[in-house]
Amino acid sequence: MDEWLSDRDFLSGGERKVKKTTLILGCGDIGQALGRELIDAGHRVIGARRHAAALEGSGIEPLALDLGDPAALDALPQADYVVYVLSADRFEEAAYRAAYPDGLKAVLRTYERHERPPQRLLFVSSTSVYGQKEGERVDEESPAESAGFSGVLMREAEQALHDSPLPGTVVRFSGIYGPGRDRLIHQVLEGRIAPTAPPMYSNRIHRDDCAGVLAHLIGLSEAGQPVEPLYLASDCEPAPLYEVMRWMATQLKVEPTEVIQAPLRKRASKRCDNARLRESGYEFRYPDYRAGYTQVMRTGGFLTQPV
């Protein structure tokens, strides 16, 4: 009996139903949230990471894996869906190259040789690929010409997936926040706030929506619905960073005392348009920063009273 037979459930009439297998490469915070959703949807989920013991008891099958090890790559399991959601271990060019273009290319080469390749591979990218800084609206058709090494290397990885014969989809997440991702809240609590001018438009997506988007796209593929090769995943309300932090200060009952002065060359200001994702049928759980940060502040114990 092959391994796929062990992944089958039996319906009440005796009919055999194949359970889909999803492999999550880089199964950290987002990967675990996605894994829980897919398990609830009936998938078998394998989570690969260097230290797989963190997945024990989660329902996700742990797989210790170092993508820099060719022998480990040869042992990649068959899967219907593969989600590549690695994070670089530090903000340095060498770390980004290893995690994104080099790592993804190695995975693609491995699965291109498989007798049974995945039905779809999803690569989690970033809106750092955009170089716009003047509050421009950007979507999937906008030029992605970042001058920073992180954006350049992300684009190289995206292109590798587009050039592969494997069916693939790139998902560009904007600034991810959520439980444990609360740096902005702490800045506000310290009395710091962004300048009012020039307006620095910011874009964000809650961790739970990151998982929701990926599960949604896998569900579309599983149902035989069309899935585009690229989606921009950001919530429905780009907003000036000052506005976000001023609102947050009001909720936290903090009066800002210091303006954050970031170097002009490091400032990013663009407005991400998620129309393609919404037209695919995805409904955001946290459609704007007020809904998402209220949840984070409440669950994180930052709020003592209802907002």
Q: What is the pLDDT along the chain (307 residues), one digit of tens a residue?
A: 233 333 444 344 444 456 899 999 999 999 999 999 999 999 999 999 988 888 988 899 999 998 888 888 988 999 999 999 999 989 999 999 999 999 999 999 999 999 999 999 999 999 999 999 999 999 999 999 998 999 999 999 999 999 999 999 999 999 999 999 999 999 999 999 999 988 899 999 999 999 999 999 999 999 999 999 999 999 999 999 999 999 999 999 999 999 987 654 456 799 999 999 999 999 999 999 999 999 999 999 898 655 4
Largest CA distance in the chain: 68
Neighbours of 136 (CB within 10 A): 14
Residue 267: per-residue pLDDT: 65
Element housing 192 (H / E): strand 192-193
Whole-number pLDDT of residue 6: 37
Contacts of residue 244, Cβ cutoff 8 Å, sequence gap at least 6 = 184, 194, 202, 289, 293
Residue type at 5 in one-letter notation: L
Alpha helix positions (H), the chain:
29-40, 70-74, 93-97, 103-112, 149-163, 183-189, 207-222, 241-252, 275-279, 289-299
Other CB atoms within 10 Å distance of the CB of residue 291: 15
Cα distance between residue 190 and residue 256, in whole Å: 8
Which pLDDT belongs to residue 17? 59
Q: 5-178+205-236+270-286 belongs to which CATH class? A: alpha beta
* pLDDT at site 53: 87
Global confidence as pTM: 0.91
HSE-CB at 183 with a 13 A cutoff on CA atoms is 3
pLDDT at res. 303: 83
pLDDT value, residue 26:
95
